[in-house]
Amino acid sequence: MPDAKNIPLNERIIFALDFSNPREALSWVKKLDGHVKFFKVGLQLFLAGWWNVVEAIIKRGNKVMVDLKFFDIPETVHSAIQQLKNKGITFATIHGNDPIIEAAVKGKNGLKILAVTVLTSFDETDMKEMGFTGTIEDLVLIRSQKAINLGCDGVVSSGKEAFALREKFGSNFIIVTPGIRPGINRDVIGDDDQKRIATAKEAFADGADYVVIGRPIKNSDDPIKTIKQIQTEIKEGLIAF
């Protein structure tokens, strides 16, 4: 399938600002300036910096994914999504059943809503312990089908499921893939809490649009060099796709 979304290479990586200090987070935004133009603000940073940090990132000409995984009664989720209006945010994440998804979509007003399928820190053993039957891929496909049908703009899913998602649902929705590790560290997990991992090349070859990456860049001796290596993987993956 051809890539028709025309996403700039420096927006393909969403750098995860997983910091508890807003000043440290913004120092990383400046450090990566130009090489990465898309940043994830999750629970940790949002609670530490609230809207100030989001606004500071956007004022530098960057995009923001607010990854708060809204999950509550539908009216509360709808009201929460309303709070994101006119903030310049590109993506927001939600999680939940049909009424929750419908409530989020109803209030999005130009914001792109992404449904979280199954966290990349879960594997088959975790799912069985929670009482789920079938495979993770089965659950991801079921949840994605509902999200797309109800009007979500895309899903958050591991690279392991990207190919099946594209094969079943086509290209008219967004796939954002966390759990990405550079090719040289593909099988070295150590104390990493991500279980369903992939390289950027694998993810894009299977149909991902964006990858969320934090620690492999943050912990690198040369973050810019690491970003360039990952972007090379992305280009190779897009060609293969």
Catalytic residues: 69
How far, in Å, CA of 208 to CA of 201, rounded? Answer: 10
Q: Which residues of 33-48 are buried (b: 16+ CB within 10 A; e: fewer)?
A: eebbbbbbbbebbbeb
How far, in Å, CA of 88 to CA of 3, rounded? Answer: 25
How far, in Å, CA of 75 to CA of 78, rounded? Answer: 5
Residue with tokens 């369903």: 196
Q: Which of 40, 19, 9 is nearest to 212 (CA)?
A: 40
Output the DSSP codes for 174-202: EEEE--B--GGGTT--TT----S-B-HHH
How far, in Å, CA of 36 to CA of 210, rounded? Answer: 12
Compute the 3-state secondary structure of the chain and give helix, strand, coil in percent, each to the nearest 5: 45, 15, 35
Which amino acid is it at 155?
Answer: V
